[in-house]
A and B are shown apart, each in its own frame.
Chain A
């Protein structure tokens, strides 16, 4: 009775494999419709209130569905017309008047006019406590918005606001319909609730999986020479957290664009003939900010020793690729007002050792420096959003170890890390980086009332005992309110020099956002801080 074999075993196996066979036909069919672009992102979007657009997954969506009053040319960083066809500023930079293009509409058909724009900036500039809207980081000194006529709106400021014109061009100032801003903050995490005027409209949002964008056929107010509607019909943004799967899916033809390519994957993508894009984030470089409130780094000699004990060239050439330029200042070399300070932050372990010696930190047999029975051990938290941050810190620890400094690399829950990073005793060092193509970015990162990277008294932290640098703060405020562009850039240069001379910050590399795209894809562009602009995408070939 060997018939049993055939009766039982074979059908079971056959049934299983035949299940797979018809499915193998699926990819060929679904990819035949050439006008859908598949975009893979490692993370899902969070709340899509435009001022929260700094988070990359949010920026990737908002950049397609909203327009801004002005457009910043990513090459020249000049501010050019977009929704506003022209504008004027009063002498002391406290009143900005914008004239809107006629005939603008939101995707729900409602008009994009002066009252709508006024409501947007009123909300971004002042927040709305009833609906839980926070204020926008990019807008300072906002007072109120005034509707002059249906196409003219004036914004008034309590103090000079020279950064405001650039602030109208950032993703965080994307214009949404008044109906969107009448919803409570908590409802803006659903992408379909965000009604903008951009070339794409959100047609579906499946939490944690997918956001679908449909091209808007009647779009005709783009910022560049080609102002018309998108050339593709649909964009599917899919969440694929695993790095190797995103790369594999691109190379297997299952995706057209992927965001966040790690340096070690670049070679195989380039080798396969795919295109790599590494737009700069053009702000404060990825580096280590020091907190002088902690007695261990209160001495400028110790801080300088750390600055000169850092071999950024080794870090970049060991761990990263040509997409990651070595930092030459606190600011990116592509930022306005950049000053090359490489000479003042040279790698010099002998100088570093001498500085530590003169500060009273002596080498003990354990290979570490001690002073009054204390070891020179400095804590820093891994910063997950930055590429290969853990490995980078480990290499840095190895370099510092050679001059007798122990870098204690820590990790923890999101809340634990936040709390630790507000306490200079626990974190004398922190990883810092901000992307924004305006000199205001220096104030954003270092001013106590903003991100407060150095942790000053009177800033975000209540744990600071006394550190405060009035000289730095005065210069930072000057950048944010100086009305003369030349004077402003002068201050930007001064702040960069001061941060390095005081060794408040150890710049390491210029962080790009690395994307890869298939060979058939043309027209992938980026706005000034590396968020993708998908309007001009074109699928060529099969």
Chain B
């Protein structure tokens, strides 16, 4: 403790600074790597967006005119020159234009990203709600068959394809019950139905895990002890069983959040949302390299930033870890 006070706090900060710098540097290297790999992979694909756009028989251009377009768009046929040019532009925040749609890539992303994030966030919250509702119901409902039905529900949900449940939800809630329209609604109303659709397959594994944990916890001796003291079912459940069972499924919830983004392509097509999933599908089918490159970079940045935050926060939250990088020499010395 005394060594900690005697001037080593500055040392520790310097150590943390060095640690932070290393982490940031590593993050930048990963981003650069992701950019480079995608750039050259996209280059290796046969054909390009210019070809798809202008060889479209609808335009009926002559081969010479198409060749002229290609030279105009890429500036140079040398991929290395294009690579340096693209990276330079990206660093200045210029992501180029979508050849297919004739719109700046930044505009497309700005329109799509909030849609997907909103869907993911609402879907995620709903999935937590389902998980809790199932767990509570399956443990506390008075009827045995109802409890058993709730137990079986997660397995059933995870077997339903998102495409099918999406259409069913629209047919039922929107077209039959007229609860809310599926077309021409505002950004928040428009997210409710798709969020219900995505939340089901996400909730299924969480609920399964939670039910399993609850069963295990119920077998523990302390639960038996409390029960024999005469506590009600509900109070035992909410005070002791649930808190002791929920941690693993919360961890799991963090993991499945990624699945929400991946499932976006199907959901956004069914519900006609203009999010990243929709954009990715369009860009892939039109081989719109600039858009694909930007989407990959968004994904990579999200991943890198999340990891970097965790790496930087851990030593701040947990002092033993914080002093570790700087204190190693000291501890070995003292």
Binding site for B on A (CB under 8 A): 1-2, 4-5, 8-9, 12-13, 16, 19-20, 23-24, 26-27, 30, 38, 40, 44-49, 51-52, 54-55, 127, 129, 132, 134-135, 137, 185-190, 206-210, 236, 238-242, 244-245, 248-249, 251-252, 254-255, 413-416, 418-419, 434, 444, 449-451, 459-460
Contact = CB atoms under 8 A, between A and B. Distances in A.
Nearest to A30: B184
13 contacts: A23-B189, A24-B179, A47-B53, A185-B102, A190-B107, A207-B108, A209-B273, A240-B272, A245-B183, A251-B175, A252-B174, A413-B287, A415-B52
Nearest to A140: B60
A19 to B, nearest CB: 8
Given A20-B180, A416-B46, 19 more contacts: A4-B232, A23-B179, A24-B179, A38-B184, A47-B53, A52-B59, A137-B60, A188-B102, A189-B101, A190-B102, A209-B111, A209-B272, A245-B170, A249-B182, A418-B47, A449-B62, A450-B60, A459-B63, A460-B62
Interface residues of B, number: 72
Contacts of B180: 20, 23-24, 26-27
Nearest to A453: B57
Contacts of A55: 58
Contacts of A38: 183-184
Interface stretch (B244-252, B255-263, B278-286, B317-325): B278-286
Contacts of B100: 46-47
Contact of A26 (B61, B181, B274, B286): B181
Given A38-B184, A240-B272, A252-B175, A415 B45 contact: yes
B301 interface: no
Is chain A's binding surface mostly helix, strand, loop or mixed? mixed
B102 A252 contact: no
Given A24-B180, A132-B72, A135-B65, A207 B55 contact: no
A540 B189 CA distance: 28
Given A8-B238, A415-B51, A26 B101 contact: no
Given A4-B234, A418-B52, A27 B181 contact: yes
B98 interface: yes
Contacts of A434: 57
Given A188-B102, A419-B47, A2 B234 contact: yes
A52 B43 CA distance: 26
A207 B182 CA distance: 18
Interface stretch (B2-10, B23-31, B130-138, B152-160): B130-138
A189 to B, nearest CB: 2
Given A137-B59, A189-B103, A416 B175 contact: no
Interface core residue of B73, B97, B112, B279 (most chain A CB under 10 Å)? B97
A206 B234 contact: no
Given A51-B59, A209-B111, A240 B52 contact: no
Nearest to B99: A186
B235 A1 contact: yes
Given A127-B65, A418-B47, A1 B234 contact: yes
A419 B55 CA distance: 10
Contacts of A40: 183
A225 to B, nearest CB: 32
Contacts of A129: 68, 72
Contact of A209 (B47, B171, B274): B274
B183 A47 contact: no
Given A206-B111, A418-B52, A12 B132 contact: yes
A532 to B, nearest CB: 17
A53 to B, nearest CB: 9
Interface in B164-206: 167, 170-171, 174-175, 178-185, 189, 192
B286 A414 contact: yes
B285 A414 contact: yes
B270 interface: yes
A144 B121 CA distance: 57
A236 B272 CA distance: 14
B111 A245 contact: no
B140 interface: yes
B102 to A, nearest CB: 2
A206 B274 contact: yes
Instruction: Give me the 8 closest cross-chain CB pairs, A-B, nearest first.
Output: A189-B102, A415-B47, A208-B274, A47-B102, A137-B60, A4-B234, A209-B274, A186-B97
Interface core residue of B51, B271, B274, B284 (most chain A CB under 10 Å)? B274
A40 B181 CA distance: 13
Nearest to B62: A449
Contacts of A415: 45-48, 51-52, 287
B2 to A, nearest CB: 51
A4 B238 CA distance: 9
B167 A44 contact: no
A416 B287 CA distance: 10
Contacts of A30: 181, 184
B69 A134 contact: yes
Contacts of B102: 46-49, 185-190
B304 to A, nearest CB: 26
B37 interface: no
A238 B183 contact: yes
A288 B134 CA distance: 56
Interface string B94-129: 000111111110011001100000000000000001
A241 B270 CA distance: 7
B39 to A, nearest CB: 17
Contacts of B272: 209, 238-242, 245
B129 A12 contact: yes
Contacts of A419: 46-47
Nearest to A53: B58
A209 B101 CA distance: 13
A248 B175 contact: yes
A226 B269 CA distance: 40
A434 B184 CA distance: 33
Nearest to B190: A209
Interface core residue of B182, B184, B282 (most chain A CB under 10 Å)? B184
Contact of A451 (B60, B68, B104): B60
Contacts of B232: 1-2, 4
B61 A134 contact: yes
Contact of B136 (A8, A208, A413): A8
Interface core residue of A207, A241, A450 (most chain B CB under 10 Å)? A207
Contacts of B282: 44, 208
B16 interface: no
Contact of A52 (B51, B58, B104, B132): B58
B181 A418 contact: no
Given A241-B272, A245-B272, A413 B285 contact: yes
Contacts of A245: 167, 170, 182-183, 270-272
